[in-house]
Amino acid sequence: MLTDSYGRTATDLRVSLTDRCNLRCAYCMPAEGLDWLPKPELLTDDELVRLIALAVTRLGITEVRFTGGEPLLRRGLPGIIERVAALYPRPETSLTTNGIGLERLAGPLRAAGLDRINVSLDTLTADVFVQLARRDRLEDVLAGLAAATEAGLAPVKVNAVLMRGINDHEASALLRFCLAQGYQLRFIEQMPLDAQHGWRRDEMVTADEILALLSSEFCLTPADPAERGSAPAETFLVDGGPQTVGVIGSVTRPFCGACDRVRLTADGQLRNCLFAREENDLRGPLRAGASDDELVARWERCIAAKLPGHGINDEGFLQPARPMSAIGG
Ligand code: SAM
């Protein structure tokens, strides 16, 4: 079990499959992109699957979420999912994606054993999409969403980040769209994880503001908090339910006390928090011939050192050295 010194147990592993992305979302990276990791530094499929297998069979991980960067850019993704879904005990498998390429891949991913999917969609307006993501790909994302439902990945979850003056006027329209399509929408507060360090607290659209924006059109009632568990989203019934909307107030309503996550980067670094300032190298020992027991011990040491909170609201907070795209969101 991966239990930390505050009594939390990590059961949810987030695996970044690549730091590359085909969008340039303003809250994530600069328009010109980033220096991507050189290929030899990335874990191979076999290395990845070995580490995930240890986490599942020896350390109590019950859910494996693939992310990035953009995980659909990882060659061999269906094969990785197939091997992870074949582990015993079988972990739940999920994927967070921007949806580009999902129109083609949704069926093969489902067939490989993918259980659930989250697609990021911040706007329904083509020119706002271009302004925010610096690429003209809205139609691809919408087609990917439809393909996910078609492939049986329902209920499809949609993640949206609002940026003040760019897409915050679309909060209600996004919810209307998701309700009509049967997607479960969750708004995420913008976090200080962008590569260009442009995040400003007073520019962030807060959970309170998001709820106020939605309340102008919808009646929101908090869902039973007992059902939240370790889920980051606070869930609200929309117009009496049964459909819901989620708000993830990572900054203004932190949920670190219930955190059950651990992260593995594409280059084999283990992180006990999105905002951790330290990483634990698994790739080096793995390539140097470490035994399973040695790798398990490293993993346990990393979790034992997990801090009680992400620290964003502490004086002197420093962003992690690596951006969200490299850590895996
Ligand atoms: N490329 C995939 C995608 O777009 O979903 C997976 C990686 S992306 C880093 C995962 C999620 O993190 C997306 O929903 C994205 O909107 C969100 N995200 C990225 N940067 C963020 C930030 N600074 N604050 C809050 N959420 C962010």
**Quick one: pLDDT at residue 60?**
98
**Quick one: pLDDT at residue 225?**
78
Whether the per-residue pLDDT at 231 is higher than 90: the answer is no
Whether the CB of 16 sits within 6 Å of ligand 1: no
In the chain the first and final C-alpha atoms are separated, in Å, by 23
Whether the CB of 161 sits within 6 Å of ligand 1: yes
Q: Are the CB atoms for 303 and 271 separated by under 8 Å?
A: no
Q: For 41-55, how does the pLDDT look when each residue is reduced to its tens digit (9 = 90+)?
A: 999 999 999 999 999
Whether the CB of 102 sits within 6 Å of ligand 1: no
Residue with tokens 């606070």: 234
Whether the CB of 120 sits within 6 Å of ligand 1: yes
Ligand 1 centre to CA of 329 (Å) is 5
Whether the CB of 61 sits within 6 Å of ligand 1: no
Whether the per-residue pLDDT at 220 is higher than 90: the answer is yes
Closest CA to 250 of 265, 271, 231: 231
Which amino acid type is present at position 235?
A: T
Longest CA–CA separation in the chain, Å: 59
88 token code pair: 């015993």
Whether the CB of 97 sits within 6 Å of ligand 1: yes
Cα 183 from Cα 198, distance rounded (Å) = 30
E strands present in 32-156: 63-67, 92-97, 116-120
Q: How many CA atoms lie within 13 A of 312 on its CB side?
A: 21
Q: Are the CB atoms for 241 and 303 separated by under 8 Å?
A: no
Closest CA to 190 of 322, 28, 21: 28
Ligand 1 centre to CA of 187 (Å) is 11
Number of Cβ within a 10 Å radius of residue 124: 17
Q: Are the CB atoms for 85 and 93 separated by under 8 Å?
A: yes
Whether the CB of 99 sits within 6 Å of ligand 1: no
When mean pLDDT is compared across 23-27, 183-187, 206-210, 221-225, the lowest value belongs to 221-225
Q: For 84-139, how does the pLDDT look when each residue is reduced to its tens digit (9 = 90+)?
A: 999 999 999 999 999 999 999 999 999 999 999 999 999 999 999 999 999 999 99
Whether the per-residue pLDDT at 247 is higher than 90: the answer is yes
Taking CA atoms, 131 is separated from 135, 281, 291, in Å, by 8, 37, 48
Q: For 259-272, how does the pLDDT look when each residue is reduced to its tens digit (9 = 90+)?
A: 999 999 999 999 99
Nearest CA to ligand 1 atom 17: 329
E strands present in 116-197: 116-120, 157-161, 184-188
Tell me the whole-structure pTM to 2 decimals. Answer: 0.97
Whether the per-residue pLDDT at 226 is higher than 90: the answer is no
* Average pLDDT score, the chain: 96
- From the alpha carbon of 189, which atom of ligand 1 is closest? 25
**Quick one: pLDDT at residue 297?**
98
